[in-house]
Chain A
Amino acid sequence: GNSVTQMEGPVTLSEEAFLTINCTYTATGYPSLFWYVQYPGEGLQLLLKATKADDKGSNKGFEATYRKETTSFHLEKGSVQVSDSAVYFCALTPTSNTGKLIFGQGTTLQVKP
């Protein structure tokens, strides 16, 4: 079946530190991969996406590369800010033309000044 596994949180970093949140997936076929972010009291916002192997998604200083050989989509940011504190979700959609996303369990990021 299809599944997504994220590293356990919370992740606590100091401002300007380097961030990596690991995400691996299991899927049949060629899924599209996403990172979503959820701030307290809000819904999810799309952070970035990649639709095929070796694609790199990027947005607001965050990056993730679709690695088919390692079935991974790790999220990275070179220098985090306090405002990046949120819950981050890795997700996949196994096919196109669907609103069905399979999410990882989420990783809480806390950035301290």
Chain B
Amino acid sequence: KAGVTQTPRYLIKTRGQQVTLSCSPISGHRSVSWYQQTPGQGLQFLFEYFSETQRNKGNFPGRFSGRQFSNSRSEMNVSTLELGDSALYLCASSSGEGNSPLHFGNGTRLTVT
């Protein structure tokens, strides 16, 4: 079974631009969650999508948004990039039911200059 796939692996953007990150979950998983990992703040939850609906949301500004498609693939968008958005963005998928464990991708490393 293929794991969680995130593309691209690396991105370099300029302050003020926008960026879209992609995540393909494990086949059959209906939940996709996004996390931001930085040395200072650690791992922080951004949002979760389940069956194309946002089910949970973390405490990030509206510049961070996401969506999920009917095949469960998900995208995350960050608009008006700031230097502080530089981070490793991790996507995780699960069945979304009960206490099912999260399976993480290898992440997208975003650098904002």
Contact B106 A41 (CB under 8 A): yes
- Collect the chain B residues with CB atoms within 8 Å of residue A100's CB: 33, 45, 48, 56, 58
B1 smallest CB distance to A (angstroms): 15
B54 smallest CB distance to A (angstroms): 11
B41 smallest CB distance to A (angstroms): 9
> Which residue of chain A is the closest to B31 with respect to CB atoms?
A99
- Residue of B31, B48, B101, B106 near A43 (CB, 8 A) is B106
Give the interface size bracket for B toward A.
20 to 34
A-B contact count (CB 8 A): 62
Contact A97 B97 (CB under 8 A): yes
B104 smallest CB distance to A (angstroms): 4
Contact A43 B104 (CB under 8 A): yes
Give the interface size bracket for A toward B.
20 to 34
- Collect the chain B residues with CB atoms within 8 Å of residue A82's CB: none
- Collect the chain A residues with CB atoms within 8 Å of residue B31's CB: 99
Contact B104 A44 (CB under 8 A): yes
Contact B107 A43 (CB under 8 A): yes
- Collect the chain B residues with CB atoms within 8 Å of residue A102's CB: 45
> Which residue of chain B is the closest to A6 with respect to CB atoms?
B42
- Collect the chain A residues with CB atoms within 8 Å of residue B107's CB: 43
Interface residues of B in 66-113 (CB under 8 A from A): 90, 92, 94, 96-99, 101-107
Nearest 7 pairs of A and B residues by beta carbon: A99-B33, A43-B104, A99-B48, A103-B43, A44-B104, A32-B99, A100-B56
Q: B-side interface residues toward A, CB under 8 Å?
A: 4, 31-33, 35, 42-43, 45, 48, 50, 55-56, 58, 90, 92, 94, 96-99, 101-107
